[in-house]
Amino acid sequence: MTLDFDEGDELRDLRAAVARLGQKYGQEYFLRLARSDGRPDDLWAEAGRAGFLGVNLPEEFGGGGGGLVELTIVLEELGAAGCPLLLMVVSPAICGTIIARFGTADQKQRWLPGIADGTTTMAFAITEPDAGFNSHEITTTARRDGDGWVLSGRKVWISGVDQADALLVVGKLADTGRGTLRPALFVVPADAPGLEAHPIPMDIVSPERQFSLFLDDVRLPGDALVGHPDQGIAQLFAGLNPERVMAASYSNGVARLAMAKATAYARERQVWGQPIGAHQGLAHPLAACQIEIEVARLMTQKAAWLIDHGHDAGTAANSAKYAAAEAAVHAVDQAIQTHGGNGLSQEYGVAALLAMSRVSRIAPVSREMILSFVAQHDLQLPRSY
Protein backbone atom coordinates (compact mmCIF):
# COMPACT_ATOMS: atom_id res chain seq x y z
CA MET A 1 0.00 0.00 0.00
CA THR A 2 1.33 3.43 -0.99
CA LEU A 3 0.95 6.48 1.20
CA ASP A 4 0.30 9.58 -0.90
CA PHE A 5 0.42 12.97 0.79
CA ASP A 6 -0.28 14.89 -2.43
CA GLU A 7 -3.84 16.23 -2.30
CA GLY A 8 -4.09 16.14 -6.08
CA ASP A 9 -5.39 18.67 -8.58
CA GLU A 10 -9.05 18.35 -7.60
CA LEU A 11 -8.52 19.19 -3.94
CA ARG A 12 -5.97 21.89 -4.79
CA ASP A 13 -8.51 23.47 -7.13
CA LEU A 14 -11.09 23.34 -4.35
CA ARG A 15 -8.69 25.07 -1.96
CA ALA A 16 -7.94 27.78 -4.49
CA ALA A 17 -11.60 28.41 -5.30
CA VAL A 18 -12.61 28.65 -1.64
CA ALA A 19 -9.62 30.88 -0.88
CA ARG A 20 -10.71 33.26 -3.64
CA LEU A 21 -14.21 33.43 -2.20
CA GLY A 22 -12.89 34.02 1.32
CA GLN A 23 -10.55 36.77 0.13
CA LYS A 24 -13.42 38.43 -1.71
CA TYR A 25 -15.08 39.03 1.67
CA GLY A 26 -12.11 38.97 4.04
CA GLN A 27 -11.68 39.59 7.75
CA GLU A 28 -12.81 43.21 7.53
CA TYR A 29 -16.25 42.05 6.33
CA PHE A 30 -16.41 39.40 9.05
CA LEU A 31 -15.42 41.73 11.89
CA ARG A 32 -17.68 44.53 10.69
CA LEU A 33 -20.67 42.20 10.95
CA ALA A 34 -19.51 40.86 14.30
CA ARG A 35 -19.29 44.36 15.79
CA SER A 36 -22.61 45.54 14.37
CA ASP A 37 -24.84 42.55 15.23
CA GLY A 38 -24.81 41.52 11.58
CA ARG A 39 -24.64 38.05 10.06
CA PRO A 40 -22.48 36.70 7.21
CA ASP A 41 -25.54 35.82 5.14
CA ASP A 42 -24.01 37.01 1.85
CA LEU A 43 -20.93 34.85 2.27
CA TRP A 44 -23.00 31.86 3.42
CA ALA A 45 -25.32 32.18 0.43
CA GLU A 46 -22.50 32.51 -2.08
CA ALA A 47 -20.63 29.57 -0.56
CA GLY A 48 -23.84 27.55 -0.87
CA ARG A 49 -24.41 28.52 -4.50
CA ALA A 50 -20.82 27.55 -5.30
CA GLY A 51 -21.43 24.09 -3.84
CA PHE A 52 -18.95 24.51 -1.00
CA LEU A 53 -21.35 24.03 1.94
CA GLY A 54 -22.65 20.69 0.71
CA VAL A 55 -19.45 19.30 -0.74
CA ASN A 56 -19.66 16.35 1.68
CA LEU A 57 -23.32 15.47 1.04
CA PRO A 58 -24.69 12.92 -1.47
CA GLU A 59 -25.03 14.11 -5.07
CA GLU A 60 -28.58 12.79 -5.28
CA PHE A 61 -29.60 15.42 -2.73
CA GLY A 62 -27.72 18.30 -4.28
CA GLY A 63 -24.38 17.76 -2.57
CA GLY A 64 -20.94 17.40 -4.05
CA GLY A 65 -20.60 13.69 -3.34
CA GLY A 66 -17.33 14.21 -1.48
CA GLY A 67 -16.57 13.71 2.17
CA LEU A 68 -15.21 15.30 5.28
CA VAL A 69 -11.81 15.80 3.63
CA GLU A 70 -13.40 18.25 1.20
CA LEU A 71 -15.50 19.97 3.85
CA THR A 72 -12.50 20.55 6.12
CA ILE A 73 -10.72 22.23 3.21
CA VAL A 74 -13.64 24.62 2.75
CA LEU A 75 -13.75 25.67 6.40
CA GLU A 76 -9.98 25.94 6.76
CA GLU A 77 -9.59 28.14 3.68
CA LEU A 78 -12.44 30.43 4.70
CA GLY A 79 -10.89 30.74 8.14
CA ALA A 80 -7.46 31.47 6.71
CA ALA A 81 -9.08 34.27 4.69
CA GLY A 82 -10.58 35.75 7.86
CA CYS A 83 -14.09 34.31 7.62
CA PRO A 84 -14.32 31.16 9.78
CA LEU A 85 -17.95 30.09 9.39
CA LEU A 86 -18.74 28.30 12.64
CA LEU A 87 -22.08 27.00 11.38
CA MET A 88 -20.26 24.84 8.85
CA VAL A 89 -19.29 22.68 11.82
CA VAL A 90 -22.94 22.32 12.71
CA SER A 91 -25.18 22.36 9.66
CA PRO A 92 -23.45 20.32 6.92
CA ALA A 93 -20.96 18.43 9.11
CA ILE A 94 -23.03 17.26 12.10
CA CYS A 95 -26.64 17.57 10.98
CA GLY A 96 -26.02 16.83 7.32
CA THR A 97 -23.92 13.77 8.12
CA ILE A 98 -26.45 12.31 10.57
CA ILE A 99 -29.45 12.86 8.32
CA ALA A 100 -27.61 11.54 5.25
CA ARG A 101 -26.66 8.35 7.11
CA PHE A 102 -29.70 7.70 9.29
CA GLY A 103 -32.59 9.84 8.09
CA THR A 104 -35.62 8.48 6.30
CA ALA A 105 -36.02 9.05 2.57
CA ASP A 106 -38.47 11.88 3.33
CA GLN A 107 -36.09 13.49 5.85
CA LYS A 108 -33.21 13.37 3.40
CA GLN A 109 -35.30 14.92 0.65
CA ARG A 110 -36.73 17.53 3.02
CA TRP A 111 -33.47 18.75 4.54
CA LEU A 112 -30.34 17.78 2.62
CA PRO A 113 -30.82 19.83 -0.58
CA GLY A 114 -31.26 23.03 1.44
CA ILE A 115 -28.32 22.25 3.72
CA ALA A 116 -26.22 21.56 0.62
CA ASP A 117 -26.97 24.82 -1.18
CA GLY A 118 -27.12 26.98 1.94
CA THR A 119 -30.80 27.90 1.68
CA THR A 120 -31.52 25.84 4.80
CA THR A 121 -29.45 25.95 7.96
CA MET A 122 -29.73 23.52 10.84
CA ALA A 123 -28.39 24.02 14.36
CA PHE A 124 -27.38 21.21 16.71
CA ALA A 125 -28.52 21.11 20.34
CA ILE A 126 -26.89 18.68 22.74
CA THR A 127 -25.21 20.54 25.64
CA GLU A 128 -27.22 21.10 28.83
CA PRO A 129 -26.53 23.29 31.88
CA ASP A 130 -26.25 20.40 34.34
CA ALA A 131 -24.73 17.81 32.00
CA GLY A 132 -21.80 19.69 30.45
CA PHE A 133 -19.63 17.24 28.53
CA ASN A 134 -21.38 14.27 30.16
CA SER A 135 -23.97 13.43 27.53
CA HIS A 136 -25.20 10.52 29.62
CA GLU A 137 -26.73 13.04 32.02
CA ILE A 138 -28.95 14.71 29.43
CA THR A 139 -32.40 15.33 30.87
CA THR A 140 -34.23 16.67 27.80
CA THR A 141 -36.93 14.07 27.32
CA ALA A 142 -39.22 13.03 24.50
CA ARG A 143 -42.41 11.19 25.27
CA ARG A 144 -44.92 9.64 22.93
CA ASP A 145 -48.17 11.53 22.40
CA GLY A 146 -50.42 9.64 20.02
CA ASP A 147 -48.62 9.48 16.69
CA GLY A 148 -46.23 12.28 17.65
CA TRP A 149 -43.78 13.40 20.32
CA VAL A 150 -43.60 15.95 23.10
CA LEU A 151 -40.12 17.30 23.81
CA SER A 152 -39.21 19.09 27.06
CA GLY A 153 -35.90 20.27 28.47
CA ARG A 154 -33.21 22.90 28.34
CA LYS A 155 -30.07 23.39 26.25
CA VAL A 156 -27.16 25.84 26.46
CA TRP A 157 -24.28 27.01 24.25
CA ILE A 158 -26.20 26.31 21.05
CA SER A 159 -24.61 28.02 18.05
CA GLY A 160 -26.46 29.96 15.38
CA VAL A 161 -30.05 29.49 16.47
CA ASP A 162 -30.88 32.90 14.98
CA GLN A 163 -29.68 31.65 11.58
CA ALA A 164 -31.30 28.21 11.77
CA ASP A 165 -34.46 27.00 10.07
CA ALA A 166 -34.48 23.93 12.30
CA LEU A 167 -32.52 22.29 15.08
CA LEU A 168 -31.34 18.72 15.51
CA VAL A 169 -32.04 18.23 19.21
CA VAL A 170 -30.56 15.41 21.28
CA GLY A 171 -32.93 14.12 23.93
CA LYS A 172 -33.87 10.87 25.58
CA LEU A 173 -36.84 8.66 24.90
CA ALA A 174 -39.05 8.12 27.89
CA ASP A 175 -39.84 4.41 27.91
CA THR A 176 -42.08 3.75 30.88
CA GLY A 177 -42.50 0.15 29.87
CA ARG A 178 -38.80 -0.58 30.28
CA GLY A 179 -38.09 2.03 32.93
CA THR A 180 -35.14 3.47 31.00
CA LEU A 181 -34.13 6.61 29.13
CA ARG A 182 -32.53 6.24 25.69
CA PRO A 183 -30.83 8.93 23.57
CA ALA A 184 -32.55 10.04 20.39
CA LEU A 185 -32.34 12.86 17.85
CA PHE A 186 -35.25 15.02 16.71
CA VAL A 187 -35.63 17.64 14.01
CA VAL A 188 -37.33 20.64 15.60
CA PRO A 189 -38.45 23.63 13.48
CA ALA A 190 -36.91 26.85 14.79
CA ASP A 191 -40.38 28.42 15.07
CA ALA A 192 -41.98 25.47 16.87
CA PRO A 193 -44.43 26.56 19.62
CA GLY A 194 -42.86 26.04 23.03
CA LEU A 195 -39.28 26.57 21.81
CA GLU A 196 -37.62 29.70 23.21
CA ALA A 197 -34.09 30.89 22.43
CA HIS A 198 -32.21 33.48 24.49
CA PRO A 199 -28.86 34.91 23.30
CA ILE A 200 -25.88 34.58 25.62
CA PRO A 201 -23.76 37.77 25.81
CA MET A 202 -20.25 36.88 24.66
CA ASP A 203 -16.88 38.63 24.39
CA ILE A 204 -15.95 36.58 21.33
CA VAL A 205 -15.73 38.77 18.22
CA SER A 206 -17.86 36.71 15.87
CA PRO A 207 -21.13 37.28 14.00
CA GLU A 208 -22.25 33.76 14.94
CA ARG A 209 -23.91 33.77 18.34
CA GLN A 210 -24.63 31.40 21.22
CA PHE A 211 -28.02 30.70 22.78
CA SER A 212 -29.81 29.07 25.67
CA LEU A 213 -32.85 27.03 24.65
CA PHE A 214 -36.00 26.21 26.57
CA LEU A 215 -38.24 23.45 25.24
CA ASP A 216 -41.59 23.57 26.99
CA ASP A 217 -43.76 20.69 25.74
CA VAL A 218 -42.71 21.16 22.12
CA ARG A 219 -45.05 19.01 20.04
CA LEU A 220 -43.54 17.23 17.06
CA PRO A 221 -44.91 14.89 14.40
CA GLY A 222 -43.95 11.23 14.45
CA ASP A 223 -41.45 11.63 11.64
CA ALA A 224 -39.41 14.18 13.63
CA LEU A 225 -37.37 11.29 15.07
CA VAL A 226 -34.19 10.70 13.08
CA GLY A 227 -33.05 7.11 12.71
CA HIS A 228 -33.92 4.11 14.84
CA PRO A 229 -34.90 4.70 18.48
CA ASP A 230 -32.52 1.96 19.64
CA GLN A 231 -29.48 3.30 17.78
CA GLY A 232 -29.23 6.81 19.16
CA ILE A 233 -25.69 6.39 20.49
CA ALA A 234 -24.31 5.27 17.11
CA GLN A 235 -26.16 8.07 15.34
CA LEU A 236 -24.90 10.64 17.81
CA PHE A 237 -21.24 9.68 17.43
CA ALA A 238 -21.61 9.61 13.66
CA GLY A 239 -21.99 13.37 14.03
CA LEU A 240 -19.66 14.06 16.95
CA ASN A 241 -16.47 12.75 15.33
CA PRO A 242 -16.99 14.98 12.26
CA GLU A 243 -17.71 17.82 14.68
CA ARG A 244 -14.29 17.38 16.29
CA VAL A 245 -12.56 17.25 12.90
CA MET A 246 -14.37 20.35 11.68
CA ALA A 247 -13.51 22.14 14.91
CA ALA A 248 -9.88 21.28 14.14
CA SER A 249 -10.28 22.70 10.64
CA TYR A 250 -11.78 25.87 12.12
CA SER A 251 -8.75 26.22 14.42
CA ASN A 252 -6.34 25.50 11.58
CA GLY A 253 -7.83 28.35 9.57
CA VAL A 254 -7.59 30.76 12.49
CA ALA A 255 -4.00 29.69 13.16
CA ARG A 256 -3.02 30.23 9.52
CA LEU A 257 -4.64 33.67 9.53
CA ALA A 258 -2.72 34.64 12.67
CA MET A 259 0.52 33.33 11.19
CA ALA A 260 0.01 35.22 7.94
CA LYS A 261 -0.55 38.46 9.84
CA ALA A 262 2.43 37.87 12.14
CA THR A 263 4.90 37.01 9.39
CA ALA A 264 3.79 39.86 7.13
CA TYR A 265 4.32 42.28 10.01
CA ALA A 266 7.66 40.70 10.95
CA ARG A 267 8.90 41.15 7.37
CA GLU A 268 7.76 44.77 7.09
CA ARG A 269 8.34 46.27 10.54
CA GLN A 270 11.78 47.90 10.69
CA VAL A 271 13.69 48.33 13.97
CA TRP A 272 17.45 48.91 14.25
CA GLY A 273 17.73 49.07 10.51
CA GLN A 274 16.28 45.66 9.67
CA PRO A 275 12.96 43.76 9.77
CA ILE A 276 12.09 42.45 13.22
CA GLY A 277 11.69 38.99 11.69
CA ALA A 278 15.46 38.83 11.33
CA HIS A 279 15.76 38.47 15.10
CA GLN A 280 15.63 34.90 16.37
CA GLY A 281 13.67 36.03 19.42
CA LEU A 282 10.71 36.45 17.05
CA ALA A 283 11.70 34.16 14.17
CA HIS A 284 12.07 31.01 16.26
CA PRO A 285 8.71 31.24 18.08
CA LEU A 286 6.98 31.88 14.75
CA ALA A 287 8.75 28.92 13.20
CA ALA A 288 7.69 26.71 16.11
CA CYS A 289 4.09 27.84 15.63
CA GLN A 290 4.30 27.03 11.93
CA ILE A 291 5.43 23.50 12.72
CA GLU A 292 2.51 23.09 15.13
CA ILE A 293 0.10 24.27 12.44
CA GLU A 294 1.42 21.80 9.89
CA VAL A 295 1.25 18.93 12.39
CA ALA A 296 -2.35 19.85 13.24
CA ARG A 297 -3.34 20.08 9.57
CA LEU A 298 -1.85 16.66 8.88
CA MET A 299 -3.71 15.13 11.82
CA THR A 300 -6.94 16.77 10.65
CA GLN A 301 -6.53 15.35 7.17
CA LYS A 302 -5.88 11.88 8.60
CA ALA A 303 -8.97 11.99 10.82
CA ALA A 304 -11.17 13.21 7.96
CA TRP A 305 -9.82 10.47 5.67
CA LEU A 306 -10.49 7.79 8.28
CA ILE A 307 -14.08 8.95 8.70
CA ASP A 308 -14.65 9.11 4.95
CA HIS A 309 -13.39 5.54 4.57
CA GLY A 310 -15.46 4.12 7.41
CA HIS A 311 -12.63 3.50 9.86
CA ASP A 312 -12.63 4.04 13.61
CA ALA A 313 -11.64 7.68 13.98
CA GLY A 314 -12.25 8.41 17.66
CA THR A 315 -8.60 8.87 18.60
CA ALA A 316 -7.70 10.64 15.37
CA ALA A 317 -10.63 13.06 15.58
CA ASN A 318 -9.89 13.92 19.20
CA SER A 319 -6.16 14.24 18.51
CA ALA A 320 -6.77 16.53 15.55
CA LYS A 321 -9.02 18.75 17.59
CA TYR A 322 -6.48 18.94 20.41
CA ALA A 323 -3.50 19.63 18.16
CA ALA A 324 -5.32 22.29 16.14
CA ALA A 325 -6.61 24.09 19.23
CA GLU A 326 -3.12 24.24 20.72
CA ALA A 327 -1.68 25.44 17.41
CA ALA A 328 -4.30 28.19 17.15
CA VAL A 329 -3.77 29.40 20.72
CA HIS A 330 0.00 29.53 20.31
CA ALA A 331 -0.13 31.15 16.87
CA VAL A 332 -2.53 33.90 17.93
CA ASP A 333 -0.56 34.60 21.09
CA GLN A 334 2.70 34.86 19.14
CA ALA A 335 1.04 37.00 16.47
CA ILE A 336 -0.01 39.50 19.13
CA GLN A 337 3.47 39.46 20.65
CA THR A 338 5.04 40.01 17.24
CA HIS A 339 2.84 43.05 16.64
CA GLY A 340 3.60 44.51 20.06
CA GLY A 341 1.09 47.22 20.96
CA ASN A 342 -0.34 47.09 17.45
CA GLY A 343 -1.44 43.54 18.18
CA LEU A 344 -4.08 44.89 20.54
CA SER A 345 -5.47 47.46 18.11
CA GLN A 346 -8.49 46.88 15.92
CA GLU A 347 -6.54 48.06 12.89
CA TYR A 348 -4.53 44.85 12.57
CA GLY A 349 -7.32 42.38 13.43
CA VAL A 350 -5.08 40.15 15.54
CA ALA A 351 -6.60 40.63 18.98
CA ALA A 352 -10.00 39.76 17.52
CA LEU A 353 -8.68 36.21 17.14
CA LEU A 354 -7.77 35.87 20.82
CA ALA A 355 -11.06 34.71 22.33
CA MET A 356 -11.88 32.85 19.12
CA SER A 357 -8.71 30.78 19.43
CA ARG A 358 -9.00 30.32 23.17
CA VAL A 359 -12.49 28.86 23.00
CA SER A 360 -11.09 26.15 20.71
CA ARG A 361 -9.57 24.56 23.81
CA ILE A 362 -13.04 24.30 25.34
CA ALA A 363 -15.56 23.58 22.59
CA PRO A 364 -16.96 21.31 21.35
CA VAL A 365 -15.00 19.15 23.77
CA SER A 366 -12.39 20.36 26.24
CA ARG A 367 -8.71 19.53 26.05
CA GLU A 368 -9.03 17.75 29.41
CA MET A 369 -11.75 15.44 28.08
CA ILE A 370 -9.60 14.66 25.06
CA LEU A 371 -6.60 13.84 27.23
CA SER A 372 -8.79 11.58 29.37
CA PHE A 373 -10.04 9.83 26.23
CA VAL A 374 -6.53 9.22 24.92
CA ALA A 375 -5.28 8.10 28.35
CA GLN A 376 -8.07 5.55 28.65
CA HIS A 377 -8.42 4.27 25.09
CA ASP A 378 -4.87 4.49 23.76
CA LEU A 379 -2.74 4.15 26.87
CA GLN A 380 -5.12 1.73 28.65
CA LEU A 381 -4.92 3.77 31.83
CA PRO A 382 -7.69 3.48 34.43
CA ARG A 383 -10.80 5.48 33.66
CA SER A 384 -10.97 8.71 35.63
CA TYR A 385 -14.71 9.34 35.44
Got the DSSP string for 313-329? -HHHHHHHHHHHHHHHH
Query: Hey, what domains does the chain have and what are their CATH numbers?
Result: 8-120 (1.10.540.10), 124-230 (2.40.110.10), 233-377 (1.20.140.10)
Is the preceding omega at residue 92 within 30 degrees of 0, hence cis?
no
Helices 314-339 and 232-268 cross at an angle (nearest 10°) of 20
Residue spans of beta strands (DSSP E) within 160-302: 166-175, 180-189, 195-199, 210-220, 225-226, 270-271, 274-275
Distance from C-alpha of 303 to C-alpha of 241, rounded to nearest angstrom: 9
Report the run of H or E that residue 149 belongs to, with start and end: strand 148-159
In this prediction, residue 180 carries a pLDDT of 53
Query: Which residue in 112, 109, 100, 182 sits closest to 143, CA to CA?
Result: 182
Return the amino acid letter for 294.
Answer: E
Q: What is the pTM of this model?
A: 0.95
What is the pLDDT tens value at each position of the chain, 385 positions in all?
567 889 999 999 999 999 999 999 999 999 999 999 999 999 999 999 999 999 999 999 999 999 999 999 999 999 999 999 999 999 999 999 999 999 999 999 999 999 999 999 999 999 999 877 677 778 999 999 999 999 999 999 999 999 999 999 999 987 644 445 578 999 999 999 999 999 999 999 999 999 999 999 999 999 999 988 877 778 888 899 999 999 999 999 999 999 999 999 999 999 989 999 999 999 999 999 999 999 999 999 999 999 999 999 999 999 999 999 999 999 999 999 999 999 999 999 999 999 999 999 999 999 999 999 999 999 999 998 7
